[in-house]
Chain A
Amino acid sequence: EAGVAQSPRYKIIEKRQSVAFWCNPISGHATLYWYQQILGQGPKLLIQFQNNGVVDDSQLPKDRFSAERLKGVDSTLKIQPAKLEDSAVYLCASSLRVGTDTQYFGPGTRLTVL
C-alpha cells in the first residue's frame, strides 16, 4: 500500500513570496490533515478535511494560509505572503475515518523562509 505522498520535499523562498504544497493521501482515506512542525516542537494541526469539507481550521492563520481538497482526494496548502516564522516542516497525514483511526503521515515539506 502506497503511503502519503508530499511534494516538494524542500522549498526555500524569500519572505513575502508565496508557496504551495501538495499532498496525496492513502487511497480510500476520507480524512486529511495538515500539520506544521517548527524545529524542536511537536506537530500542530492547521486544518482537517473530511472528504472535501473542512472539519477543523481553528489554528490556521487564515490571513495568509489557505487549503483546499478538491474532489476529496489531493490537497494543497498555500502560504501567501510568507513570513520568517513560517519556516517549518509541513506534514500531511490521512486516516480512513474520523474518530480514533490511526493517522498516517507523509515525509513532509521542509520550508525555509529567508
Chain B
Amino acid sequence: QKEVEQDPGPLSVPEGAIVSLNCTYSNSAFQYFMWYRQYSRKGPELLMYTYSSGNKEDGRFTAQVDKSSKYISLFIRDSQPSDSATYLCAMSMNYGGATNKLIFGTGTLLAVQP
C-alpha cells in the first residue's frame, strides 16, 4: 500500500464548476498537508498549506484535513480554464526539524473546459 493515494483522473469539468480533489494516506504521523499545482512542463508550486486537522480558505480554494479519517481534500470554487493543471497532494512528518521530506501523491490531472 502506498503511503499516499490520489486518484490520477483525468477530471474534466465545465468552467464555473466546483472541483473536489482528494487524497488518502496511511501514516498517522503526517502532520503537515500541502497542495501543489503543476502546470505542464513546469515545476510544482505551493497552493495551500495546512497543519493538522481543519479547514483553510484562500480565495477560491479551500483545503480540508480530516486526520481521524486520514483524508484530505482541496475544493476549487468557480473553476477557471487557468486552473487546468495537475494537482499534487503532499505530506510531511517534519522529523523533529531535521528534515521536511515531502511525500507526494501521484497527482490528479484537471481540465476546466471553457
Contacts and interface: CB of A to CB of B under 8 A. Distances in A.
Contacts of A4: 43
Given A40-B8, A100-B92, A100-B94, A108 B101 contact: no
Given A102-B46, A105-B45, A56 B99 contact: yes
Q: Is the interface of B mostly helix, strand, loop or mixed?
A: loop
Nearest to A102: B46
Query: Which of A40, A44, A100, A104 is packed against the most chain B CB atoms within 10 Å?
Result: A100
B106 A43 contact: no
A95 B100 contact: yes
18 contacts: A41-B107, A42-B4, A42-B90, A42-B105, A42-B107, A43-B88, A91-B44, A98-B99, A99-B100, A100-B51, A100-B92, A103-B46, A103-B100, A103-B102, A105-B43, A105-B45, A106-B43, A107-B42
